[in-house]
Amino acid sequence: MKKVVLILVGLLAFSCSNKPTLQKYFVENSESTDFIALDLAPSIINTEKITLSDSEKEALNSFEKLNVLAFQKDSISDEKYNTEKEKVKTILKDEQYEQLMRFGSSKNGGSVYLVGEEDKIDEFVLFATGDDQGFVVARVLGDNMNPSNIINLMEVLRKSELDLAQLKPLQDALGKK
């Protein structure tokens, strides 16, 4: 009986992955003073005063939350900035992250990734760097999103009045740096 329990515990321990993920990276760094972390719910998008098309409603319904993690670089954090930037790049090289596009340069630019299948996307990731400012990783989490949902969601954001109270933690954090 003890052998069976030991085998099951061993299999369980072996099956748990220790590979880095963005989720783990966000959790590990969200309380760090080097980072600014923000989680935004769909309620930030105020749609009471606008009329939404069916495709915009679908896009809004597929959106669950937005996680943002930013590293603000200063003159004394150069080495830490490079280390953290490389950690994120390594995570995004994993096969679960499919790169959709790149823009800018390696010093000032970014990339957009997706997790999931083309018509059932669970996560869009934006990774943007500015070697003078720092970097930001934004995760748009949803349920069965598709690329047109993201485009439509951006249109809804443009038309809506954002609930800026949810951005107060980010404003406060930027004010302290």
For residue 125, give the 3-state DSSP assignment: strand
pLDDT in tens, 74-124: 777 788 999 999 999 999 999 999 998 999 986 789 999 999 887 788 999
Q: Are 49 and 143 in contact (CB under 8 A)?
A: no
DSSP state of 73: -
Given the DSSP bridges, would you call strands 134-145 and 108-117 parallel, antiparallel or unpaired?
unpaired
Given the DSSP bridges, would you call strands 63-72 and 134-145 parallel, antiparallel or unpaired?
antiparallel
Q: Band the pLDDT of 27: cuts 50, 70, 90.
A: very high
pLDDT in tens, 122-161: 999 999 998 888 899 999 998 888 888 878 887 887 777 6
